[in-house]
A and B are shown apart, each in its own frame.
Chain A
Amino acid sequence: MLDFITRFFRREEASGSQAKERLRLVLMSDRVSLAPEIFDAMKGEMISVVRRYLDIDEGGLDVHFESAERRFMLLANIPVLSIRPKPNGDGHAALVSEKMPRRRRRRRKPQVAPDAETPSVEPDAPVEPDTSL
């Protein structure tokens, strides 16, 4: 109990700004989970870009949002089958070394930096999960 008291008495930042920061994060995850079609569209585009450089096992694909401690992140687990020798479609060559280690690639984290602009879901975006209204 003691550590609770000391932690509390240390003059933390005013609770109002704590509330504002927590709300910013939780509303982001609420809004995304509320607009599945926007999330699916984004996921689709990500895959099509990656597929230009890598053969991926779409079945094992896992893309989801996570907010941990004070950051809101988009995490993508993309199982790679092989490297495309020449990226099709897109002109510029991918600088990829041939000697790929056999074990799976490290998890790719296209991070949404906390102070970056809020992700694609703008608060005013016409999010209409419930079209019956």
Chain B
Amino acid sequence: MPGTVYVITSGKGGVGKTTTTANLGGALAKLGRQVALVDADIGLRNLDLVLGLEKRIVYDLVDLVEERCQTRQALIKDRRFDNLYLLPASQVKDKESVTEDQMRIVMRKLAADFDDVLIDCPAGIEHGFRNAVAGADQALIVTTPEVAAIRDADRILGMLGNRRCRLIINRVRVEMVRTGDMLSVDDVVEILGRDVVGVVPDDEEIIDTTNRGEPIVLDASRRLARIYNAIARRLLGENVPLTNLSEDGLWGRLRRLVTGTGQ
């Protein structure tokens, strides 16, 4: 049975697509899935940086599409996981050189060998976006609870046709939601009218891990690692309740110690 191809998209840039792709892919790999991550952001390559694999790139997506190498030559294995591979974007070659049909062919090839294929989609709605979406069965829309991000997410939802779309609400600042200066998860769901597969709190630690090229899911003790693990399990159909972020904080951890309810 061919694997599922997800496109991780958002419209607005800088909401955390690449970080989500890297950590969600890592979480799926830790659950034993064969996972391929595809960086479709030709010209603005970043997934390799977040994974710390930038130094090992010899061939890239454009080489594969223009048949200068085989699939296995272009895929880079992340040694810290058992079954996580990266197909990097090209930093030098043009984005225009790749067509939607070529992307569909490459994605179908990957879906044959992998359980899950996650495509890191470029920001915007131009040629790069259309390429990234072309080969995808489902879409995960990453947004933050901010006006501009939600508006762009709504625009993207209108362009994804009848694919299954689910939301990942990223960088939720719990204390601002409490003071009413940030939309709540329910607000975002009500406005965009789609179901949520993950809610990720805003956390400084993630900046450290992306800068060092070490996905946070590598350290299972980290709060965010548990959250990405929960999202991965939801993707695989498991019914994992969404953490109520406010109680996940200091008091939440204390209460959990007392009542012993883990996530």
Interface residues of A in 16-32 (CB under 8 A from B): 16-17, 19-20, 22-24, 26-27, 30-31
CB of A132, distance to nearest CB on chain B (Å): 8
A113-133 vs B: 1/0 string, CB under 8 Å? 000000000111011111101
A1-29 vs B: 1/0 string, CB under 8 Å? 00000000000001111011011101100
C-alpha spacing A20/B189, complex, angstroms = 11
Instruction: Judge if B179 is at the interface, Cβ distance under 8 Å.
Output: yes
- A133 near B180 with CB under 8 A, answer no
By a CB distance below 8 angstroms, the chain B residues around A30 are 151, 154-155
- B191 near A14 with CB under 8 A, answer no
Which among B16-24, B49-57, B86-94, B158-166 touches the partner chain? B158-166
By a CB distance below 8 angstroms, the chain B residues around A35 are 158
Interface size on A, residues (CB 8 A): 25
- B155 near A22 with CB under 8 A, answer no
CB of A70, distance to nearest CB on chain B (Å): 16
By a CB distance below 8 angstroms, the chain A residues around B254 are none
C-alpha spacing A54/B86, complex, angstroms = 66
Of the candidates A22, A129, A133, which one forms a contact with B133 in the assembled complex, judged by CB atoms under 8 Å apart?
A133
- B160 near A133 with CB under 8 A, answer yes
Number of A-B residue pairs, CB cutoff 8 Å, is 61
CB of A126, distance to nearest CB on chain B (Å): 6
Of the candidates B147, B161, B193, which one forms a contact with A19 in the assembled complex, judged by CB atoms under 8 Å apart?
B147
By a CB distance below 8 angstroms, the chain B residues around A31 are 154, 158
C-alpha spacing A26/B161, complex, angstroms = 21
CB of A104, distance to nearest CB on chain B (Å): 37
- A16 near B183 with CB under 8 A, answer yes
Q: A14-B181, A16-B187 are in contact. List 17 more A-B contacts (CB 8 A).
A: A14-B179, A14-B180, A16-B177, A16-B180, A16-B182, A20-B183, A23-B147, A23-B151, A23-B191, A27-B154, A123-B193, A124-B193, A126-B162, A130-B159, A130-B161, A133-B130, A133-B161
What are 23 A-to-B residue pairs whose CB atoms are below 8 Å?
A: A14-B180, A16-B181, A19-B146, A19-B147, A20-B183, A24-B191, A26-B151, A27-B191, A30-B151, A30-B154, A31-B158, A35-B158, A122-B193, A123-B154, A124-B193, A126-B162, A129-B158, A129-B159, A130-B159, A130-B161, A133-B130, A133-B133, A133-B159
